[in-house]
Structure 1
Amino acid sequence: MIAAIALAFSFLTATAQAKVLELHRGVGVHEWLNWSPVNEDGTYIWPPYRAEQEWLDSFRKGTVSKGENEFQRIRSMGFDFVRLSVDPGPLVSSEGTKRKEALAILSKAVKRITASGLRVVFDLHGVNQVPATSMKLIYDGADSEGVARYRAMVKEVAGMLVKVGTDKVAIEPYNEPAYYPCDASGTDDWQRIMEATVADIRSVSGDLTIIATGACGGGVKGLLNLKPGFDDPNIYYSFHMYEPHDFTHQRSETKGGFASGMPWPASTSTPEAVRKALEARIDAAGLSRAEKRANLAEADPLIAKYFAENWGEKQLDARFEQALGWAKTNAIPSERLFMGEFGAILMTADGRMGADDADRIRYLTAVRRSAEKAGIPWSIWEYANTYGMSVIVPKENAVPDMNMLGALGLMRQ
């Protein structure tokens, strides 16, 4: 009994003395270990996850020289950590020897990154390709069997990461959880899930940094609804910044539709100018009159709403002030907030979606500066994809987007 008490005391003392893994400027790596390949019957191909070379070939298209290291490349751009998105599906769907096999693959991947001098935020990032192991697994309440399974998996992941080294990695057990609404009319299920998950991880290690998050998609509103009674000095509190969404995610709900060209800030243009430019892009695409009318009917209310809200740095600063106010109220240093994602879609070559590059750059610069002014570490979404939210230019040669890196205060031409 005395030995057990001594052990518990030493664990609490270690937790009290621990501090968060130092993070400053990061980038999301999403396409490598997420969307783990599946068979035709919906089961995971085993062993799971893509090989690093398969991920590289998806955007480097054979341009990788022998001996070249993509993570050293990321480091050379000025990033100090990678937020590594990992599909939890293969882990949740397996146990015993198979789960250990999956964890070994992930351990090797994390070590591959940390060997380049980068730190890693290990982001368990649920996706929907296999419904039984999607984020729906955790949406039946804090006491559900699905939550119990997920939490047990998180503990094993934490154990794997501790072996990699708590001076190199942090764990983010949930990405953009739902559990709406985030106000007094909602339940306390998410609060209980987050509290219990922190306790699970702490039963494994007091030194492993945790990235905790609020509900409602992981935005500022969800953070404000989170009660950090489980806090210790080794926890970051995450929020994602995609506000205003009508700017950051400009795309039509209609297949092949047009929704693009909103300015940043709104005061730099007018609704009439945005509509006229959109019409020109639609005309250039050769759409029929009926298609043009349908596109404009969808776009007009979005344009009107955006300009009525008059989004700019004042509203952006107000969102950050909400997060900072939450931290101050809860006696949490602003440096332990964590802006885990931000970004904006770049306008596509056909003009169907996204923001003009100059507007996108002004927005990214404003968001990054607001975070850094408060000492908040950040991670841009993301390193390489074909959807225009990419540090690597989504075209033939995999070269860095120098305008984007400049907006992030990193490499400049």
Structure 2
Amino acid sequence: MRRMACVAAWVLGMAVAAGAAPIPLQRGVGVHEWLNWSPVEDDGSYSWPPYRSEQEWLAGHRPLTDWPGGDEFARVRSMGFDFVRLSVDPGPLLASEGAKRKQALDILAAAVERITSAGLKVVFDLHGVTQVPANSMEMIYGGADSEGVARYREMVVAVATMLVKVGTDKVAIEPYNEPAYYPCDSSGSDDWQRIMAGTVRDIRAVSSEITIVATGACGGSIAGLVNLTPDFDDSNLYYSFHMYEPHSFTHQRPDGTNTFASGLPWPADSSTPEVVAETLKAQMDAAGLISVEQVMNMVAAREAIARYFEQNWGQSQLEASFRQAVDWAEAHGIPGRRLFMGEFGVILMSTDGRMGAFDADRLRYLRAVRQQAERFAIPWSVWEFSNPHGMTVIRPDGPAVPDSLMLQALGLP
């Protein structure tokens, strides 16, 4: 009887959702450092109550006095963003039940309301991390019928129930971030298809009105999206993909302390392999690397540089990537405005030249990606608001002021 009731609720929810529409989203920014990587104790358990306060977040990588004061989310709104993609560590929710879980959910509800009070919408992104293995995304990789998936989906239902109370006109739920089910073609199992479809059914049994952000596997890439069959679709869903193509450009970073990986251009034909290699050598000279270290670096770097230029990444390949997503949507009767580019960004070159792209190349890439998304009316969220890792709207050092050139590349005032 209970199973029949659940099925009936899901069918009714799907029917009502079919006449709905997702909350309108246009230009967003990720906030990752606040409610992710929830603090843990020495024994590996979560500190309780979980999650950081807003002040602890802002003071995490710079003095609190670097921030200008006032309402930080009002600042986000004034930059031209209309929503925040809020990364939330699901670990404390998975590790708790009863009164403790309710306490964690209450903290998260207050955080969402804090953002929406500034006039911003929220995409609530359950963003699993690795610090507590038992409650990391590894728990969902045992297959669609595994106990880990069942536990995770039960947690998603609790989150959806909380968000509905906050207001379905203000929030969307994104239950998975960059799921690592591979391979990225039809040769793989149907586990991810079943997990995503089942999770949508779970949420719809809670609410027909809350917006859901679904995703393909393969790290949330376009390759994963186009391998998804949206047989669970309703008009109140977005379909996510992340744009870090080519990864060799967006994530230029070395493997060790005395290694360098930086300076690849965008587009590739705006420079040459020789110029990139010469620039890299000059940066190693400036950093004081001895000759043997430079030689070892250049052996690895020349191979990566040659591969990048052979691929000749540029505007046409970027357009082809977007076209894959748009063609998939059109083939399934899904309008482009219900695609969702949940992340894109480029690591900015560090001051010592060890990692990242030159600012001019980074800005060209950000502008090109943003323009492609807007060409198809795809809402987007840039990665991310503030961090020390080189992908940040707020400048990483000194006074916490926006990167005005980055905002310009994003088409913001």
TM-score category of the 2 structures, normalised to the smaller one: over 0.9
| 2:317 matches 1:315 | yes
Looking at structure 2, the residues matched to 19 and 162 of structure 1 have their Cα atoms a distance apart, in angstroms, of 15
Larger deviation, residues 254-263 vs 351-360: 254-263
Larger deviation, residues 63-72 vs 76-85: 63-72
Looking at structure 2, the residues matched to 226 and 11 of structure 1 have their Cα atoms a distance apart, in angstroms, of 22
Residue identity in the other structure for 1:20: P
Q: Which residue number in structure 1 is paired with residue 242 of structure 2?
A: 240
Q: Which residue number in structure 1 is paired with residue 358 of structure 2?
A: 356
Looking at structure 2, the residues matched to 10 and 224 of structure 1 have their Cα atoms a distance apart, in angstroms, of 28
Taking a change above 3 Å as real, the CA distance of residues 7 and 57 of structure 1, as seen in their structure-2 partners, is: closer
What's the secondary structure of 2:369's corresponding residue? helix
Q: Which residue number in structure 2 is paired with residue 292 of structure 1?
A: 294
Q: Which residue number in structure 1 is paired with residue 90 of structure 2?
A: 88
Following TM superposition, by how much is the alpha carbon of 1:15 offset from its aligned partner in structure 2, in angstroms? 1.4
Q: Which residue number in structure 1 is paired with residue 50 of structure 2?
A: 48
2:376 to 357, 374, 377: 374
Following TM superposition, by how much is the alpha carbon of 1:184 offset from its aligned partner in structure 2, in angstroms? 2.2
1:211-250 paired onto structure 2 within 5 Å = 211-250=213-252
1:220·1:319 contact (CA, 8 Å) conserved in 2?
Answer: yes
Looking at structure 1, the residues matched to 76 and 289 of structure 2 have their Cα atoms a distance apart, in angstroms, of 41
1:59·1:384 contact (CA, 8 Å) conserved in 2?
Answer: no
Following TM superposition, by how much is the alpha carbon of 1:256 offset from its aligned partner in structure 2, in angstroms? 3.0
Q: Which residue number in structure 1 is paired with residue 175 of structure 2?
A: 173
What's the secondary structure of 2:18's corresponding residue? helix
Taking a change above 3 Å as real, the CA distance of residues 256 and 11 of structure 1, as seen in their structure-2 partners, is: same
Residue identity in the other structure for 1:204: V
Looking at structure 1, the residues matched to 63 and 76 of structure 2 have their Cα atoms a distance apart, in angstroms, of 18
Q: Which residue number in structure 2 is paired with residue 189 of structure 1?
A: 191
Q: Which residue number in structure 2 is paired with residue 199 of structure 1?
A: 201
Following TM superposition, by how much is the alpha carbon of 1:254 offset from its aligned partner in structure 2, in angstroms? 2.5
Q: Deviation per CA, 1:93-114: give whole Å up to 9, x if none.
A: 1111111010000000000000
Taking a change above 3 Å as real, the CA distance of residues 8 and 313 of structure 1, as seen in their structure-2 partners, is: closer
Taking a change above 3 Å as real, the CA distance of residues 6 and 94 of structure 1, as seen in their structure-2 partners, is: closer
2:66·2:399 contact (CA, 8 Å) conserved in 1?
Answer: no
Following TM superposition, by how much is the alpha carbon of 1:11 offset from its aligned partner in structure 2, in angstroms? 3.8
- Give aligned-pair identity as a percent: 66
1:54-69 paired onto structure 2 within 5 Å = 54-59=56-61, 61-63=63-65, 68-69=70-71
Q: Which residue number in structure 2 is paired with residue 257 of structure 1?
A: 259
Q: Which residue number in structure 1 is paired with residue 17 of structure 2?
A: 15
Following TM superposition, by how much is the alpha carbon of 1:58 offset from its aligned partner in structure 2, in angstroms? 2.3
Taking a change above 3 Å as real, the CA distance of residues 169 and 64 of structure 1, as seen in their structure-2 partners, is: farther
Residue identity in the other structure for 1:396: G
1:33·1:49 contact (CA, 8 Å) conserved in 2?
Answer: yes
Following TM superposition, by how much is the alpha carbon of 1:17 offset from its aligned partner in structure 2, in angstroms? 1.8
1:75 to 74, 77, 97: 77
Residue identity in the other structure for 1:279: K
| 2:293 matches 1:280 | no
Looking at structure 2, the residues matched to 67 and 260 of structure 1 have their Cα atoms a distance apart, in angstroms, of 35
1:121 to 96, 120, 123: 123
Looking at structure 2, the residues matched to 335 and 51 of structure 1 have their Cα atoms a distance apart, in angstroms, of 34
1:60·1:397 contact (CA, 8 Å) conserved in 2?
Answer: no
Number of equivalent positions:
409
Looking at structure 2, the residues matched to 141 and 37 of structure 1 have their Cα atoms a distance apart, in angstroms, of 29
Q: Which residue number in structure 1 is paired with residue 407 of structure 2?
A: 405
1:318-337 paired onto structure 2 within 5 Å = 318-337=320-339
Looking at structure 2, the residues matched to 220 and 6 of structure 1 have their Cα atoms a distance apart, in angstroms, of 33
Taking a change above 3 Å as real, the CA distance of residues 6 and 382 of structure 1, as seen in their structure-2 partners, is: closer
Residue identity in the other structure for 2:70: E
What's the secondary structure of 2:33's corresponding residue? strand
Q: Which residue number in structure 2 is paired with residue 384 of structure 1?
A: 386
Structure 2 residues without counterparts, runs of 5 or longer: none
1:266 to 253, 262, 268: 268
Looking at structure 1, the residues matched to 147 and 102 of structure 2 have their Cα atoms a distance apart, in angstroms, of 22
Following TM superposition, by how much is the alpha carbon of 1:12 offset from its aligned partner in structure 2, in angstroms? 4.3
What's the secondary structure of 1:17's corresponding residue? coil
Stretches (4+) displaced over 4 A: 4-10, 64-67
Residue identity in the other structure for 2:107: I
Q: Which residue number in structure 1 is paired with residue 210 of structure 2?
A: 208
1:151-170 paired onto structure 2 within 5 Å = 151-170=153-172
2:9·2:205 contact (CA, 8 Å) conserved in 1?
Answer: no
Q: Which residue number in structure 1 is paired with residue 105 of structure 2?
A: 103
2:258·2:293 contact (CA, 8 Å) conserved in 1?
Answer: no
